[in-house]
């Protein structure tokens, strides 16, 4: 009987183990130190007081598939030439096949001042403490509400926008919206990479009167003075315009490819950087692959798990496969992507065990981002490696015929249906 070792007890690891145990004939071991497993897609709603945090949390023991060998340790390093993984306690675990799905590392050290600022005072993040986000929104009394994201890849690239749309609506309910400028600063040059979705989101931004600042790379958070410092990654001189107004250049033209729907907010300039003064700041922190991946020969030059984009097989070691957020796949890092990746990995390993060639079925980069645009409203972005909009035909059963538009039924999907599918189907090894 072959030994399958899985690194990570998140969505990818648990799904892979559950599907293999259904097949039988394989000894399955999961290396995972955590006591709890979280349904993180709901944390956006937790941050806006639309979901109970405790309902996102279950013990790891309760989601471990029956029959799995669970080792409660971290992976420390690899010796893939000898089919081995070394754990944090120094144990050597042998395998015939290895699946690497450790998730992603939040690294606040990549932005100066962020480690000291995050989850304190008016600086918050749904990625680290969504309950604190709600406290910040509740206590906000007006001014500049700044929402931002880093230049690194992140889990669910749409999440920094979702909480912004919900917060803007909450500010209306709490009566502070009329005294508030909502600002979204992003290192990207577009609001979303899938055109039909981007069209809808720009309509939402216009309706909500949100200022978007493109090409803004966050480099420092000064919590004491409440300034987020950015480098501008597009040369404003190329367009013949300045990128934003300041006290000395108040009459100059604004470059809307950098500063869309400009608002009169307090901005500082220092050493070639632009500082946005905020009264509350929500951000997605910088994220990288875990260190034991980056420091191994499994990583590519950028530090991510170097796997084939279609088969998910490692490019150097044939008996190693990778999936999830740590994999070097040019698509959004979401649970929906993992849902499509796991069956590919399971089938390919099963075929190798049977001495057959890899499956002709490959992963096409499918990912999905449920973009909440307000309480009771959502757009569902489904797309592939080429950013083609690929809505699930099953949505028509919910009477949703164009998921690029806002729908209440999609909100129901996000809040009620997807969590049930996750706990009761996906983690049980059922393909959905």
How do residues 193-225 score in pLDDT, each as one tens digit? 999 999 999 999 999 999 999 999 999 999 999
What's the CATH number for 108-283? 3.50.50.60
427-432 mean pLDDT = 92
Rounded to 10 degrees, the C-alpha dihedral 186/190/196/201 comes to 40
The mean of the pLDDT values for the chain is 94
Q: Which residue has the higher pLDDT, 361 or 247?
A: 361
pLDDT at 367 over 50: yes
| CB burial string 45-55: b at 16+ within 10 A, e below | bbbbbbbebee
Let me know: does 221 contact 265? Beta carbons within 8 Å: no
Within 10 angstroms of residue 355's Cβ, the number of other Cβ atoms is: 6
pTM for the predicted model, two decimal places: 0.94
CA distance 73 to 61: 14
**β 84-87/75-79 pair status:** antiparallel
What's the CATH number for 2-104+289-363+416-428? 3.50.50.60
> Exposed (0-12), middle (13-18) or buried (19+): which is 270, by Cβ within 10 Å?
exposed
Structure tokens at 330: 């040019």
CA distance 417 to 121: 34
Let me know: does 99 contact 5? Beta carbons within 8 Å: yes
pLDDT of residue 235: 65
DSSP string, 76-122: EEEEGGGTEEEETTS-EEE-SEEEE----EE-GGGSBTHHHHTTBTT
How do residues 256-280 score in pLDDT, each as one tens digit? 889 999 998 999 999 989 999 999 9
How do residues 287-338 score in pLDDT, each as one tens digit? 999 999 999 999 999 999 999 999 999 999 999 999 999 999 999 999 999 9
Marked catalytic residue, from 80, 124, 241, 369: 369
CA distance 53 to 403: 27
Same fold, 2-104+289-363+416-428 and 108-283: yes
3-state secondary structure of 226: coil
Band of the pLDDT at 237, cuts 50, 70, 90? low
37-45 mean pLDDT = 98
Tell me 357's DSSP state.
Answer: P
Let me know: does 175 contact 203? Beta carbons within 8 Å: no
Let me know: does 137 contact 48? Beta carbons within 8 Å: yes
Query: Structural domain boundaries of the chain?
Result: 2-104+289-363+416-428, 108-283
**80 in active site:** no
Question: Strand order of the sheet with strand 84-87?
Answer: 75-79, 84-87, 92-94
Marked catalytic residue, from 80, 124, 156, 241: 156
């Amino acid at each position: 009987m072959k030994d399958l070792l899985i690194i990570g007890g998140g969505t990818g690891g648990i799904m892979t183990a559950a599907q293999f145990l259904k097949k039988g004939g394989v000894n399955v071991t999961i290396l995972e130190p955590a006591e709890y497993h979280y349904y993180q897609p709901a944390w956006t709603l937790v941050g806006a007081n639309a979901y109970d945090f405790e309902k996102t949390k279950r013990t790891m023991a309760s989601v471990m598939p029956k029959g799995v060998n669970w080792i409660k340790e971290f992976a420390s390093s690899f010796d893939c030439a000898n089919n081995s993984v070394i754990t944090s306690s120094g144990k050597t675990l042998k395998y015939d096949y290895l699946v690497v799905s450790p998730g992603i590392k939040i690294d606040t050290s990549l932005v100066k001042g962020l480690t000291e600022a995050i989850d304190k005072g008016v600086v918050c993040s749904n990625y680290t403490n969504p309950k604190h986000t709600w406290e910040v929104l509740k206590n906000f009394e007006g001014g500049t509400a700044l929402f931002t994201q880093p230049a690194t890849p992140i889990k669910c690239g749409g999440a920094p926008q979702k909480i912004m749309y919900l917060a803007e609506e909450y500010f209306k309910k709490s009566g502070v919206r009329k005294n508030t400028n909502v600002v979204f600063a992003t290192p990207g040059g577009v609001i979303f990479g899938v055109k039909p979705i981007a069209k809808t989101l720009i309509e939402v931004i216009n309706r909500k009167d949100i200022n978007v600042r493109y090409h803004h790379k966050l480099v420092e958070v000064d919590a004491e003075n409440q300034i987020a410092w950015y480098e501008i990654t597009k040369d404003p001189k190329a367009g013949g315009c300045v990128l934003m107004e300041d006290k000395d250049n108040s009459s100059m033209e604004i470059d809307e490819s950098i500063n869309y729907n400009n608002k009169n907010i307090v901005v500082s300039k220092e050493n070639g950087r632009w500082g946005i003064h905020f009264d509350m700041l929500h951000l997605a922190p910088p994220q990288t692959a875990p260190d034991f991946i980056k420091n191994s020969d499994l990583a590519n030059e950028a530090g991510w798990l170097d796997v084939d984009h279609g088969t998910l097989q490692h490019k150097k070691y044939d008996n190693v496969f990778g999936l999830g957020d740590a994999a070097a796949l040019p698509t959004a890092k979401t649970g929906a992507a993992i849902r499509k990746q796991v069956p590919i990995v399971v089938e390919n390993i099963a075929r190798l065990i049977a001495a057959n060639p890899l499956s002709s079925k490959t992963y096409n980069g499918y990912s999905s981002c449920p973009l909440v645009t307000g309480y009771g409203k959502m757009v569902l972005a489904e797309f592939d490696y080429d950013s083609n909009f690929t809505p699930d035909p099953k949505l028509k059963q919910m009477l949703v015929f164009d998921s690029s538009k806002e729908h209440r039924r999609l909100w129901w999907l996000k809040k009620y249906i997807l969590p049930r599918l996750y706990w009761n189907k996906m983690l049980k090894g059922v393909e959905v």
